[in-house]
């Protein structure tokens, strides 16, 4: 096993990231149901690949799991020699939900709307920068999709995780970024970040005046997920057991309150449905990488 304690959820991003929040929201309740400790190990870096590669090689018994984001598949599309294959090396356990993300810029940039950001990016040429949590990360691929829809070509700067990305946008070292609303909201409320658009199908209750990206760019598409994956070969009975318990936990009022606080929408999918969703996510990432001319 990757971890010394009984059940370990590996996290590919730093504490405070949306992926981290998702795991820590459900972990304590799962520990109660299983009467076993659930521990977390943050192995941030390489857009989440470090953690996923460790889980791919772990004993397939359900004791070592990975809480993933959409970077789980995007990394393998962008990396010539990925340390794992998202379909061959893993078995889907359960989707937990999907995050609410927001496009922000620093209040010092004097950009107040998404249209103003797009105009500034077109005028800035090669000197306009956006940040992400690493090549192939969910924030990177979502921003690439946005850039394509907006017909802009800013320069990419990668950071270690969501907290680092938010700080770099606040300071103005990058002009904008897409981060989880949970990570960005404190800085938005302090007036240090300007929310330009939310990356969801509906406006966020916390920011009712902020439009969705699709209100400005109707053809924009986004794929996002947070869920648990296990090493390939994990017995089906184990996958089903964990999935059923995740579904139970997601129905608990206190867990839903935590997820709402960090703007994660609970949306359980059982193993077969989540596996199909991962296959679709892989196909979508391959298409975006091809159309955007990203290295594979």
Write 248-252 long-range contacts (CB < 8 A, 24+): 248/33, 249/26, 249/29, 249/30, 249/33, 250/26, 250/96, 250/97, 252/29
pLDDT tens for the chain, 296 residues long, are 555 468 999 999 888 888 899 999 999 999 999 999 999 999 987 778 899 999 999 999 999 999 999 889 988 888 878 899 999 999 999 999 998 899 999 999 999 999 999 999 999 978 999 999 887 777 888 999 999 999 999 999 999 888 899 999 999 999 999 998 888 999 999 999 999 999 988 899 889 999 999 999 999 988 889 999 999 999 999 999 999 999 999 999 999 999 988 888 899 999 999 999 999 999 988 988 888 887 64
- CB neighbourhood size of 270 (10 A): 17
Q: CA-CA distance, 22 to 229, in Å (whole number)?
A: 13
DSSP characters over 255-290:
HHHHHHHTTEEEEEE-HHHHHHHHHHHHHHHHHHHH
Beta bridge partners of 195: 104
Count Cβ neighbours within 10 Å for each residue of 184-205 and write b for 16 or more, e otherwise: bbebbeeebbbbbbbbbeebbe
Which pLDDT score, from 0 to 100, does residue 238 have?
A: 97
> Which tokens hold the place of 251?
């129905």
Residue 112's alpha-carbon distances to 127, 196, 218, in angstroms, are 19, 7, 20
Residue 116's alpha-carbon distances to 122, 124, 172, in angstroms, are 10, 12, 16
Which pLDDT score, from 0 to 100, does residue 288 have?
A: 86
Contact 170, 193 (CB under 8 A): yes
Which pLDDT score, from 0 to 100, does residue 4 have?
A: 46
Which pLDDT score, from 0 to 100, does residue 46 have?
A: 75
3-class secondary-structure state, position 221: coil
3-class secondary-structure state, position 65: strand
Contact 172, 26 (CB under 8 A): no
Which pLDDT score, from 0 to 100, does residue 13 have?
A: 84
Q: What pTM did the predictor assign?
A: 0.82
Which pLDDT score, from 0 to 100, does residue 296 have?
A: 47
> Which tokens hold the place of 289?
């990488």
Tokens 């969703």 correspond to 277
> Which tokens hold the place of 64?
């070592």
């Amino acid at each position: 096993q990757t971890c010394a304690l009984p059940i370990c959820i590996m996290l590919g991003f730093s504490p405070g990231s949306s992926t981290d929040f998702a795991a820590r929201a459900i972990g304590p309740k799962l520990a109660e149901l299983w009467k076993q400790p659930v521990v977390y190990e943050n192995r941030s870096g390489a857009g989440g690949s470090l953690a996923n590669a460790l889980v791919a090689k772990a004993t397939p018994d359900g004791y070592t799991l990975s809480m993933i984001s959409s970077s789980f598949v995007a990394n393998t599309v962008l990396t010539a020699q990925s340390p794992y294959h998202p379909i061959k090396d893993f078995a889907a356990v359960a989707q937990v939900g999907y995050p609410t993300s927001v496009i922000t810029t620093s209040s010092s940039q004097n950009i107040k709307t998404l249209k103003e950001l797009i105009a500034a990016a077109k005028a800035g040429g090669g000197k306009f920068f956006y940040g992400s949590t690493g090549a192939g990360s969910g924030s990177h691929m979502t921003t690439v999709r946005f850039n394509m829809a907006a017909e802009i070509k800013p320069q990419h700067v990668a950071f270690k995780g969501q907290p680092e990305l938010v700080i770099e946008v606040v300071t103005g070292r990058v002009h904008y970024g897409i981060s989880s609303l949970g990570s960005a909201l404190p800085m938005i409320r302090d007036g240090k970040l300007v929310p330009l658009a939310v990356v969801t199908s509906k406006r966020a209750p916390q920011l009712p005046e902020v439009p969705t990206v699709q209100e400005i760019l109707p053809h924009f598409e986004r794929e996002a997920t947070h869920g648990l994956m296990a090493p390939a070969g994990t017995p089906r009975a184990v996958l089903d057991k964990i999935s059923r318990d995740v579904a139970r936990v997601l129905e608990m009022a206190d867990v839903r309150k935590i997820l709402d606080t960090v703007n994660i929408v609970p949306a359980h999918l059982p193993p077969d449905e989540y596996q199909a969703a991962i296959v679709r996510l892989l196909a979508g990432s391959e298409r975006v990488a091809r159309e955007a001319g990203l290295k594979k």
